Every structure is written in C-alpha cells, then in structure tokens.
Amino acid sequence: MNQGPHFSSSGFTKALGQMRARRVDTFEKTATLNEAYDSDRLRGEGTAVKYAIGAMQPIDKQYTDNTYREGDRVKNQLEKAELICDFAYQGSVTSDTHIRAHSDIDLLTLTCKFVTVDAAGPVTNPYPGNPIDDLLLLRRESIGVLRARFPEANLDVLGAKSVSISGGSLRRKIDVVSSNWRNTLRYDTTGRSVFRGVDVLDCRAKSTIRNLPFLHNERICEKDGLTIGGLRKAIRLLKSLRYDADKPPDISSYDIAAIAYTMDNNALSALRGTELILVERCKWHLDKIAIDSTYREGLVVPNGTRKIFGSNGATVKGLTELRQEVDRLLHEIKNDLQRSFRKLAAARIEY
C-alpha cells in the first residue's frame, strides 16, 4: 500500500539556517535589518513558516546593487580595452528572482561587427566575415583582458557558453558571455528593445544559441504586476526549496521560473500576510503538471522560445523531486499552524 511521503520531525531548522546564510552578503559581514524571517512578529512562528515567508522576499537592494557594481567593474575594464562590442546584463538578478545576496550575474559582450536578422526575405547586406570565428576571437580577447586587469582573480575558461571570473578584489562571480545581437521581426516592427534577441556562443559546438532574455524579464515583470507580486514570490520560494534541499531537485532555476509563470494569475495573487497560501497553490499547480501529460507538454517558457518540458528543458523526474520538497514544506507549515489551532487558508502572518 502506498503510504505517501515520509517527513522528519525536525521541521525546517536546517533549511532556515541555510537561507539565512545565503541571504547575507559575506563581504558586508552583517545581515540586513529587514529580513522577514528575523522579524519580531514572526518570533512565535515555527521554522517552516519563517522559512516560507523569508524565501519569498526579494534580496536586499543594497546587496543587489553590489552585484551590479561588481559587474560594472568587469565591464569597465573590457570597455577600456576597446573591444568592439556592446554590453548588457541577463539572468535572475535582472528579473529580481535571485535568492542569494552574492548572486552571480551574466555580462553579455555583444559584438558590433555583425547582427543576426530574422529576415522575411533575402538579406540585402550579408556579412562577409565568419560570425563564429569573430565570436571565438571576442571570447579570447575577453579572456586576455580579464587575466591582465584582474591578476589575483580566479578565471574559469572551461565553460562552453561563458568565462567566469571571481575572487581577488571581486565580490561577486561574473559570467562573461560572448554573443551577438539578433534583430527579431518583432523588434524590427516595434523598435522595442525587449524584443531584441541575442545569440550566445557555444565555443565547444562552434555554434550559437538563440535567446530572448529581455523578453523573459518583461514577461516576468508584467505578470508579477498582475499578481500583486505573487509571481516573483512563488519563483523565489520554489528556487529556495531546490537550493536548500539535501539533494537538490534536478531542474534548472530557469525552468522553475517558467513553471511558476504558467500558474493562474488568481492563484498567484495573495495579499501581504496571506502568502502562506501560495505554498499550497504551488503544490496544486505542480500536481496538475505531473498528472496531466497533455497540459504539461503544452507549457512554454515565458519568452516563447521552447517548451518547458521539451528535449532541452525540465523532466518529469525533476518535477517529481521539486514536488516532494513543496510537499515537505506544506506538511511542516500545517504542523506549525496546528500548534496554535490555525488553518492554512485563514492564516495571517504579519512580518
């Protein structure tokens, strides 16, 4: 007989400690004063309730600003070297869905030698050079500059899609991504920068990967506004559960954000103080995805570039592992509330 999942009685003490550690900037040495999990109003709550509420909150703006500041230090050195490229940022920091005070950030180096176009007809001004060779050269040039300008830092050049630099005088890890602009048809017709794409170099495959990072952020921002901040809270919660698990679910942060994005707007909407209900609603959504294969196979990432559960995306195995972490948190929250004779649907948690 299937007895369902088994849960320990230790609550979320360990996970709460891990969350507390990763939400503090280790270079600042002090925690921020407004972290929800340390609020006096939550003093009497259980660890699972504290964890859930804390995990949903944004990283302190000062810490996020520090991330951009360190990215700008790297960018400024590349600019001074007069590389022929533009610069832009992408990643969870730019969508405000990051869950660590010392989050990494992607710095796109976008060559100015050529632009890829999604043309409806023949290209009137074809590029005479070799785009892949030019991107490989940009990567090599970036590596040379980083080695010369940050001699004490650790430089990892083994990544296929980025060169990572950290340590030394740098307070964050910066992933430098060689790429080029892609002008989509929608960008050409509207002129809106959110519709402009990028092609990221894969130096091993000697090819590029198409991406629409700015449209992803726009979609997240739009839906977060329609759900009174609920979308970003759900994303941070699910990402936190993955990050703090004893055995992290085999699913990417990008796909977690996409899964949360596919939730109904009403399900994502919860007024301040009632956010615990989002845990249960996330569970319901994950259950629906797991049970209904037709629904699951139709889900698409926010920028529309691929299926969430396609060949290069999330798997049912990873989904199952994430569901187990949500089930564990929900179970512990209900235990915490039961001690004070409260039901989840009616719980009001002030922080």
List, for residues 68-106, the tens digit of each pLDDT value: 999 999 999 999 999 999 999 999 999 999 999 999 999
Q: Are 284 and 277 in contact (CB under 8 A)?
A: no
pLDDT digits (tens, 9 = 90+) for 169-196: 999 999 999 999 999 999 999 999 999 9
pLDDT digits (tens, 9 = 90+) for 236-277: 999 999 999 999 999 999 999 999 999 999 999 999 999 999
pLDDT band at 124 (very low <50, low <70, confident <90, very high): confident
Rounded to an integer, what distance in angstroms lies between the CA atom of residue 60 and that of residue 25? 10
Beta-bridged to residue 107, according to DSSP, are 89, 176
Q: Are 260 and 233 in contact (CB under 8 A)?
A: no
pLDDT the model gives residue 123: 76
pLDDT band at 200 (very low <50, low <70, confident <90, very high): very high
Q: Are 114 and 131 in contact (CB under 8 A)?
A: yes
Q: Are 302 and 216 in contact (CB under 8 A)?
A: yes
Residue 49 in any domain: the answer is no
Domain endpoint, select from 211, 237, 252: 211
Same domain, 201 and 76: yes
Domain endpoint, select from 174, 196, 211: 211
Mean pLDDT of 337-344: 92
- Give the CA count within 13 Å in the CB-facing half-sphere of 260: 34
Residues 6+ apart with CB under 8 A from 187: 193, 195, 196, 197
pLDDT the model gives residue 30: 55
Mean pLDDT of 291-311: 97
Token code pair at residue 110? 């976008």
Same domain, 204 and 334: no
Neighbours of 335 (CB within 10 A): 15
Radius of gyration for the chain, computed over Cα atoms and rounded to the nearest angstrom: 22
pLDDT the model gives residue 34: 67
Question: DSSP character for 108?
Answer: E
pLDDT the model gives residue 271: 96
For strand 197-202 and strand 174-183, is the pairing parallel, antiparallel, or unpaired? antiparallel
Whole-structure pTM value: 0.93
Rounded to an integer, what distance in angstroms lies between the CA atom of residue 351 and that of residue 272? 9
Same domain, 67 and 98: yes
Q: Are 196 and 183 in contact (CB under 8 A)?
A: yes
pLDDT digits (tens, 9 = 90+) for 18-56: 999 999 887 775 555 568 888 888 988 999 999 999 999
Rounded to an integer, what distance in angstroms lies between the CA atom of residue 341 and that of residue 222? 37
pLDDT band at 10 (very low <50, low <70, confident <90, very high): low
Phi, psi of 105 (to 5 degrees): -145, 145
Q: Where are the alpha helices (DSSP H) in 82-193?
A: 131-149, 185-190
| Strand segments (E) across the chain | 85-90, 105-117, 154-156, 163-166, 174-183, 197-202, 207-211
Residue 129 in any domain: the answer is yes
Beta-bridged to residue 180, according to DSSP, are 111, 199
Comparing 5-9, 237-241, 334-338, 342-346, the range with the smallest average pLDDT is 5-9
Same domain, 169 and 238: no
Residue that is written with structure tokens 């009497």 in the block: 44
Residue 83 in any domain: the answer is yes
Same domain, 117 and 232: no
Mean pLDDT of 110-137: 91
Mean pLDDT of the chain: 93
Q: What is the DSSP string of 268-329?
A: H---TT-TTHHHHHHHHHHHHHHH-HHHHHT-B-TTSSSBTTSTTS--HHHHHHHHHHHHHH
Dihedral angle computed from the Cα positions of residues 80, 84, 87 and 90, in that order, rounded to the nearest 10 degrees: -130
3: pLDDT strictly greater than 60: no
Same domain, 294 and 205: no
Same domain, 159 and 235: no
Same domain, 68 and 185: yes
Residue 342 in any domain: the answer is yes
pLDDT the model gives residue 125: 85
Range of the domain at 283: 217-346
